[in-house]
Amino acid sequence: MLKKDEILRNLEEIVGKDFASNKLEDLFIYSQDPGASEPRPVDFIVMPKTTEEVQEIMKLANKETIPLVPMGGGLTLSGLIIPVKGGIVVDMKRMDKIIEINELSQYALIEAGVTTGQLLFYLNENYPKLQPPIPDAPPSATIAGNVLIHGSGYLSQKYGDHGAMINGLEVVLPNGDICKLGSCAVSKYWFARGPIPDLIGLFISSFGTMGIITKLSIQLFNKTRFREVVFGLLKDLKDIPNVLLRLTETGLAEDILLGMQDKPDWMKGYIFVIAYVTGESQEEIDSHIKVFKRIYRKSKARYMKTPERIKNAYLEKPIFAAAAADYRKGGGFEYVGANMPLEQIPEAYRRGVEIAKKYGIVPTLGSRLIGGTHNIVMFFSYSFNRADPKDLENARNALHETNKLALELGGIPWKAELVGQQLILEKMDPNYKKLFNAIRSTIDPKGIMNPGNWEV
Ligand SMILES: Cc1cc2nc3c(=O)[nH]c(=O)nc-3n(C[C@H](O)[C@H](O)[C@H](O)COP(=O)(O)OP(=O)(O)OC[C@H]3O[C@@H](n4cnc5c(N)ncnc54)[C@H](O)[C@@H]3O)c2cc1C
């Protein structure tokens, strides 16, 4: 067993002196995230630049049985990159090369540290006809971190969640093997996920427990010339499923969101339907808007003519949705995301409001359609004062109760924090757990990859 200073020396030899540390002042920021999780101690932080460096770090950690936690932007809010059992946080941000943009097969081959803001900006500058699937998270979130948690964004109503848009991965396994998954395992093109056994899924929503992704290929999409947002207002929760079904069956919407919040005041008392239409000309857009207005009218929704200022905020990519939400002194904010079936959305909103009020938090709820009405991601947001332990505890209780609610209604908490993962595991088919454990212990027999997460 190596001593701490020997481990540090080994890490420095791999990545260089400037990119490995165990100084308290460097570790501090990695021991927490912007959400409501308790801070937890970190032993080392390392920032590799190449796949080979990741491989060397992995071999060292495996030999010495040191936990490894891969980290992108660290923005899930649910503490997924705060080590549970100490060890090394592998911060991927220096692996930030955009390796290839394939305009014909429409994919980007990138390193795992490329941020959503970086890829968006690069495409806007160099390939203005193409757009990447990105979340409404701050632009320092990485593409890898987002696709690896089944993220979603402004293209998801039309094309599905971002995990489904992965064409290929290069991963470093816990034994140090570098492994290619997807078409790139066979071909020089990273253009498709199959047709070979699909092992990419193992790396999605497993929260860094299977290995470290060093490269990935993500699908890109054509950008239309015009994009417009059309707001509808509903008064009654039970009208939600019908209006969403009517909107999606037109096939005209690129993105559909719902919002319900008591602040700012103008939003109180309504459910906002926020639908995006796209087209190649203003006439095309206008005709789509007409269709949506008709649907709103027939579905007991009111079309809302929106002030330019608000409209423009909603046309931003990413939408800075949090700008409209309630803030508390101290700036804390976390939400339960939960994937829900459409039939349970009205009940989920009703009970979500009850939970927020019970804990004295301004109700702030939203949702996004994933692949039509196949799947709805809901957001139950809770703000808190980070400097007030009681307020933090209050938010944690609200989050916990909401996780339970999602499961009770037949949904599944998304990017769940440790406690939420345990609630999911309690409900999970025992043979699913058995299979997952068998795969995990084969790939990672010493349990070095983000241990504590998904622990059966
Ligand atoms: C204001 C706000 C709005 C948001 N809106 C959205 C939204 O609209 N849609 C959405 O999907 N999300 C949203 N999020 C959630 C989250 O921020 C994003 O999904 C974000 O993209 C996660 O990326 P990240 O780089 O921060 O991932 P991280 O938090 O760094 O990592 C996420 C998980 O992936 C693992 N991981 C990261 N990199 C690797 C790697 N290279 N190899 C193996 N495992 C790895 C980590 O261990 C962790 O388990 C929002 C967050 C905030 C704060």
Nearest to 159 by CA among 218, 110, 99: 218
First to last CA, the chain: 28
146 lines ligand 1 (CB under 6 A): yes
Distance 103 CA to ligand 1 centre (A): 26
149 lines ligand 1 (CB under 6 A): yes
Residue 321 has pLDDT above 70, yes or no: no
444 lines ligand 1 (CB under 6 A): no
Distance 238 CA to ligand 1 centre (A): 32
Distance 74 CA to ligand 1 centre (A): 6
322 lines ligand 1 (CB under 6 A): yes
313 or 106, which is more confident: 106
Distance 78 CA to ligand 1 centre (A): 9
The tens digit of pLDDT for each residue in 90-116 reads 999 999 999 999 999 999 999 999 999
pLDDT for 326 equals: 66
217 lines ligand 1 (CB under 6 A): no
Distance 10 CA to ligand 1 centre (A): 29
Mutate to test the pocket of ligand 1, among 76, 155, 170 (most ligand atoms within 8 A of CB): 76
142 lines ligand 1 (CB under 6 A): yes
Distance 244 CA to ligand 1 centre (A): 27
The tens digit of pLDDT for each residue in 446-455 reads 999 999 999 9
Non-local (6+) Cβ contacts of 229 within 8 A are 274, 275, 276, 277, 306, 311, 314, 315
Mutate to test the pocket of ligand 1, among 149, 213, 333 (most ligand atoms within 8 A of CB): 149
424 lines ligand 1 (CB under 6 A): no
The tens digit of pLDDT for each residue in 7-40 reads 999 999 999 999 999 999 999 999 999 999 999 9
pTM value?
0.97
Under a CB-based contact definition with an 8 Å cutoff, are residues 75 and 33 in contact?
yes
> For atom 9 of ligand 1, which residue has the closest CA?
135
Distance 182 CA to ligand 1 centre (A): 22
Non-local (6+) Cβ contacts of 341 within 8 A are 375, 376, 410, 411
Residue 137 has pLDDT above 90, yes or no: yes
Q: Which residue has the tokens 């394939």?
A: 102
Non-local (6+) Cβ contacts of 119 within 8 A are 98, 108, 110, 132, 134, 143
Residue 322 has pLDDT above 70, yes or no: no
How many whole angstroms separate alpha carbon 252 and alpha carbon 292?
9
Question: Among residues of the chain, what percentage have pLDDT more than 70?
Answer: 98
182 lines ligand 1 (CB under 6 A): no
How many whole angstroms separate alpha carbon 81 and alpha carbon 59?
20
Confidence of residue 381 (pLDDT cuts 50, 70, 90): very high
Q: In this structure, what are the phi and psi dihedrals at residue 365, rounded to the nearest 5 degrees?
A: -125, 150
> For atom 2 of ligand 1, which residue has the closest CA?
137
Distance 150 CA to ligand 1 centre (A): 9
Distance 75 CA to ligand 1 centre (A): 5
Q: What's the rounded mean pLDDT across residues 204-225?
A: 97
How many whole angstroms separate alpha carbon 301 and alpha carbon 232?
6
Domains of the chain, CATH where assigned: 4-93 (3.30.43.10), 95-222 (3.30.465.10), 226-315 (3.30.70.3450), 321-418 (3.40.462.10)
174 lines ligand 1 (CB under 6 A): no
Asked, as a colleague might, if the bond just before 67 is cis with ω within 30 of 0, I would say no
Confidence of residue 330 (pLDDT cuts 50, 70, 90): confident
> For atom 34 of ligand 1, which residue has the closest CA?
145
Which residues share a beta bridge with 148?
A: none
Mean pLDDT of the chain: 95
33 lines ligand 1 (CB under 6 A): no
